[in-house]
Structure 1
Amino acid sequence: MAWIQIRLNSTDKKAEKISDYLQEIGAVSVTFVDSQDTPIFEPLPGETRLWGNTDIIALFDAKTDMKQIVNLLKNEGHFSVDSAYKIEQIEDKDWEREWMDNFHPMQFGKRLWICPSWREIPDKNAVNVLLDPGLAFGTGTHPTTALCLEWLDSLDLAGKTVIDFGCGSGILAIAALKLGAKSAVGIDIDPQAITASRNNAEQNGVSERLRLFLSADTPPELKADIVIANILAGPLKELYPVIDSLVKPQGLLGLSGILESQALSVCDTYSQTFFLDPVTEREEWCRITGKLKL
């Protein structure tokens, strides 16, 4: 099926109201995009955070009269004659096939490969994690996930316990288990992440060694030899007391989801109780690792 989309420039204060109206007049989907590429903190449960300068992208059936849509928006006062907008025809293609064709096995460190299930495994003697993109974040394609996977690959995980804080797809916990960890725990605020992590663990044959908890249900006594959290700088600082409490004495910590410009403030927070290694950077993102001082 062919589609047509309109892209409007707006603000965070107006975006949700415009989104509601676009859906009323026939939009099949509406997406908010930061028009200034400004990093934002991860929203709290039930919260929708928008950017200071927001683009709204609305998708319509290709037969829609877009002049009429523009006039309706103007008549409702959602933007003026001078407001910026762009209308584009979306090519009709097999999006699922194109997406599958563009997702390839990826190597991280010396031993670890992340492989989609429909691709041939490049090295059957390597540590291979089968993972298909799905409901939750984390496939290895983002620099922050890659940095975490490479760190795990560099560690001796034999007999260790690992906590994946903000587990998403479960990729880090599953990789740790396949790299030799004794057991792992995944924690997330999103029930879909718990479902995705469980399904991916079953696909990789490690579900019996992985426990999963919604953050509100995390056992108070829970601790691990290694804690890794790939979320964002804001939540990492806000949740410092929680993450710190999860690390066993002399345990290791890995943090990512941090922009280079945010690294110093995160380091300042965690250096209170951790001996930190030099920051590792990639494509404007970075990883912070360290060892508990106690």
Structure 2
Amino acid sequence: MASNYLEFQFKIHPPVPASEILIAELGSLGFESFVENEDGVTAYILKEEFNENMLTEVRILDSDEFKISYSSSEIQQVNWNEEWEKNFQPIVVDDICSVRAPFHPKPETEFDIVIEPKMSFGTGHHATTHMMIQFILKNEWKGKSVLDMGCGTGVLAILSSQKGANPVEAIDIDNWCYLNSLENIERNNVPEISVKEGGAELLGEKKYDVIIANINRNILLNDMQKYVSVLQPDGDLYLSGFYKEDIPIIQEACEKLGLKFQENLEKDKWVAVKFSL
């Protein structure tokens, strides 16, 4: 029997990193599902689980850095399978890699990733994830050790493993992302991927051939030195989660640490950049 839910439509400007922060805060309060869109985030919570004071605990709503407005309505008898089918369409990247939900039919692509995003970021629909998938597809991954920082759904770690990377590690500071990555790794039959919950503080002496970090500009700048400290000589660092105009500040920080700019991709004003040590 489906339940009655409240639907909150949040309009957010600028969307990064506000959308991810908002989702994390709402998730900790009991919101069950999220759909990211161009304008912001749509969030759902059981009607009986919501109280009027709940949103006063969401600190980002009072932030001066972002402009966030919202409206709410009651949704009768939500069938979540129907909601996902309506809001989560399969994508194909460069005719090589598909990213789809479990209820979508299997396409004829070389790489097929089945993702049930739940509260996690990273379905391939967002420009940053899409470009990181493109980078993985166009570069040699076989036999390389890969670290996926801010793994979200685990989609980039899963594709890395499918392309022959080994070992592959995935890290995310958000508990929902950690749990969702574990589920998606099992769903895609790539159990060799290890997942950890936390941030850059988890990085120790182990070195990686490739580091993927699709997070946001401020976290990237803050953690860049740690990333470089665990990158193998001649290793590659792939970064995304920021706009084209942010490239100079990212590039300056990377070059100070000995990294060399290789190339960047651009989609919908977002960029992904490859650096090498």
Of residues 249, 266, 270, the one that matches 1:281 is 266
How far has the Cα of 1:242 moved from its partner? Answer: 1.4
Question: Cα distance 1:190–1:39, how it changes in 2: closer, same or farther (>3 A)?
Answer: closer
How far has the Cα of 1:181 moved from its partner? Answer: 0.9
Q: Separation in 2 of the partners of 1:271 and 1:190?
A: 29
Of residues 229, 232, 235, the one that matches 2:213 is 229
How far has the Cα of 1:264 moved from its partner? Answer: 1.2
State the match for 2:131 in structure 1: 147
State the match for 1:290 in structure 2: 275
Moved more, 93-102 or 137-146: 93-102
How far has the Cα of 1:112 moved from its partner? Answer: 1.9
Question: Cα distance 1:210–1:40, how it changes in 2: closer, same or farther (>3 A)?
Answer: closer
Answer yes or no: is the 8 Å Cα contact 1:105–1:122 preserved in 2.
no
Q: Percent identity?
A: 26
State the one-letter code of the partner of 1:162: V
Answer yes or no: is the 8 Å Cα contact 1:117–1:130 preserved in 2.
yes
Q: Separation in 2 of the partners of 1:91 and 1:51?
A: 35
Say if 2:113 is the partner of 1:129.
Answer: yes
Say if 2:118 is the partner of 1:105.
Answer: no
Say if 2:253 is the partner of 1:269.
Answer: yes
State the one-letter code of the partner of 2:156: L
Answer yes or no: is the 8 Å Cα contact 1:30–1:56 preserved in 2.
no
- 5 Å-filtered alignment, 1:32-111, equals 33-34=11-12, 36-37=13-14, 39-40=16-17, 48-49=59-60, 50-52=63-65, 54-59=67-72, 96-109=81-94, 111=96
Say if 2:255 is the partner of 1:242.
Answer: no
Ranges in structure 2 where 5+ consecutive residues have no aligned partner: 26-57
State the one-letter code of the partner of 2:158: I
Q: Separation in 2 of the partners of 1:29 and 1:94?
A: 13
Moved more, 159-168 or 103-112: 103-112
State the superposition RMSD in angstroms.
Answer: 2.9
Question: Cα distance 1:97–1:281, how it changes in 2: closer, same or farther (>3 A)?
Answer: same
- TM-score, normalising length from structure 1? 0.71
Larger Rg: 1
State the match for 2:142 in structure 1: 158
User: Secondary structure of 2:192's match?
Assistant: helix
Q: Separation in 1 of the partners of 2:100 and 2:17?
A: 30
Answer yes or no: is the 8 Å Cα contact 2:168–2:192 preserved in 1.
no
Question: Cα distance 1:113–1:55, how it changes in 2: closer, same or farther (>3 A)?
Answer: closer
Ranges in structure 1 where 5+ consecutive residues have no aligned partner: 4-27, 62-89
How far has the Cα of 1:222 moved from its partner? Answer: 2.4
State the match for 2:43 in structure 1: none
Moved more, 49-58 or 160-169: 49-58
User: Secondary structure of 2:131's match?
Assistant: helix
Moved more, 184-193 or 41-50: 41-50
Q: Tell me the number of residue pairs that the alignment of Structure 1 and Structure 2 aligns.
A: 238
Moved more, 139-148 or 215-224: 215-224
Answer yes or no: is the 8 Å Cα contact 1:168–1:197 preserved in 2.
yes
How far has the Cα of 1:278 moved from its partner? Answer: 3.0
State the match for 2:122 in structure 1: 138
Question: Cα distance 1:202–1:217, how it changes in 2: closer, same or farther (>3 A)?
Answer: farther
State the one-letter code of the partner of 1:106: I
Answer yes or no: is the 8 Å Cα contact 2:170–2:193 preserved in 1.
no
Q: Separation in 2 of the partners of 1:182 and 1:198?
A: 17
Answer yes or no: is the 8 Å Cα contact 1:201–1:210 preserved in 2.
no
Q: Separation in 1 of the partners of 2:87 and 2:69?
A: 26
Q: Separation in 2 of the partners of 1:48 and 1:239?
A: 24
Of residues 242, 245, 257, the one that matches 1:258 is 242
State the one-letter code of the partner of 1:114: V
Question: Cα distance 1:118–1:29, how it changes in 2: closer, same or farther (>3 A)?
Answer: closer
State the one-letter code of the partner of 1:193: C
Answer yes or no: is the 8 Å Cα contact 2:90–2:99 preserved in 1.
yes
Question: Cα distance 1:103–1:183, how it changes in 2: closer, same or farther (>3 A)?
Answer: same
Q: Separation in 1 of the partners of 2:261 and 2:21?
A: 27
Q: Separation in 2 of the partners of 1:105 and 1:169?
A: 15
How far has the Cα of 1:105 moved from its partner? Answer: 2.7
Moved more, 242-251 or 198-207: 242-251
Answer yes or no: is the 8 Å Cα contact 1:40–1:51 preserved in 2.
no
